[in-house]
Amino acid sequence: MSRSLLFKNVDVANGGVVNVNRDVLVVDGRIARNDQASSQEDSNVLVVHGPGLLAPGFVDTHVHGRDGLDVMCPGDLGPLSRGLLQQGVTGFLPTMISASPADMMKALHGAHGDPAGAKILGVHMEGPFLSPEQPGMFDPVNFSRFDMGLWTKLCTVSAVPIRLMTVAAERLDPKDLGELVGTGLILSLGHTDASYSTASGVFGQGVTRVTHAYNAMRGFHHRDPGAVGALLDHGEIDAEIVLDGLHVEAPSARILLATRTHGRIVLVSDCVPPGGRPPGAYEWAGRSLQVDDESVRLESGQLAGSAGTMDAAMRRAMAWFGVSVAQAIQMASTNARLSVGLAAQDICVGSPADLVLLDGELNPSMTLIDGVIRWRRDEP
């Protein structure tokens, strides 16, 4: 049982708006009160005084690692989950890369987090059913057409449910697609050389999302709209976007937002294990990588994932999209959850207290999991 905690005289980001001067009481890991601030205090609770902006914790649905920690390495997920708290992340989907069947099964079997860190909400499989024509930084030797036998083995050995899978439309038959959708798995189009018609077809058959929009997919041409054109033309599709200032230019990001009708913009880090490390040369996924102050790249200069963080992406969303802080927070929290089949988690009475407190510059200063302060900036 966690200690009761009162956030006093804070602003609260909830449902796309900010309510000012609120008191939020947390009891037994859940929100017990969210109302107008008063002068009353209870000596039996720990009080955190404002100012500050209290928000639902961020959810990163696409992260491979950080600071040398790799989700493919059993044992790394615990310290990674604790490190993510510094970004205001309270839940995440460790994202497994396409590798040999043995390596994927080993990683899935060892997918255990840490109760003191951000929650593992499921696994994101980025492959292995991807197109060798759009490999990104990955070695396509590990890509294949969909194989139900392999997929069943991966699901069987995983320590937590596989919630999300990035697939290339052209690597699945309609029958395979139907069976996967029927299991409740969320399918995300990515690493695909699909034409406009092929991509549009799978959007109509249960693919509800795209992975790192614009990147590693056939681009737009006015006589060959490609997968990007299909995304822009299907506003109901959720769009994962890497707002690290490098993967997508601001006008392209704004166009994507403008084309969403019922679909949502979902902020992700797509951070890779060398992200956050000092500038220099590193190895990951069998590739030699160069890290500088803002990026991770192959020796050719091609981007190789990101070094970005969720809190930085949220701040950039405000600047690039021109949205309010509450709307940007939704892109990093509520939208992410809904896009992978999880319920929204606002700051309402009865909701789990997975929260981040932001300072005046919108940097995380405190992160809570189930009402327990798991990270505080002013403490070791």
**Per-residue pLDDT of the chain in tens (380 residues, 90 and over written 9):** 467 999 999 999 999 999 999 999 999 999 999 998 776 666 678 899 989 999 999 999 999 999 999 999 989 999 999 999 999 999 999 999 999 999 999 999 999 989 999 999 999 999 999 999 999 999 999 999 999 999 999 999 999 999 999 999 999 999 999 999 989 999 999 999 999 999 999 999 999 999 999 999 999 999 999 999 999 999 999 999 999 999 999 999 999 999 999 999 999 999 999 999 999 999 999 999 999 989 999 999 999 999 999 999 999 999 999 999 999 999 999 999 999 999 999 999 999 999 999 999 999 999 999 999 999 998 65
Predicted model pTM: 0.96
pLDDT in tens, 51-102: 999 999 999 999 999 999 999 998 999 999 999 999 999 999 999 999 999 9
Distance, in Å, from the CA atom of 155 to the CA atom of 141, rounded to the nearest integer, reads: 22
Q: What length does the chain have?
A: 380
Amino acid letter for position 12: V
pLDDT for the residue 42 = 67
| 230 close to 196: Cβ distance less than 8 angstroms | yes
**Among candidates 82, 81, 83, which has minimal Cα distance to 92?**
81
Planar angle of CA 127, 193, 298, nearest 5 degrees: 65
| 212 close to 270: Cβ distance less than 8 angstroms | yes
Half-sphere exposure of 202 (CA within 13 A, CB side): 32
Bridge partners (DSSP) of residue 265 are 239
pLDDT for the residue 346 = 93
Instruction: Give the three-class secondary structure for 92.
Output: strand
pLDDT for the residue 315 = 98
pLDDT in tens, 353-379: 999 999 999 999 999 999 999 999 986
213: Cα separation from own chain's centroid: 13
Amino acid letter for position 231: L
Distances (CA, A) of 208 to 98, 161, 283: 21, 19, 33
pLDDT for the residue 3 = 73
Half-sphere exposure of 130 (CA within 13 A, CB side): 29
Please give the torsion angle defined by the CA atoms of residues 136, 265, 306 and 211, in that order, rounded to the nearest 10 degrees.
-20
Tokens of 32: 């017990």
**Among candidates 367, 249, 375, which has minimal Cα distance to 316?**
249
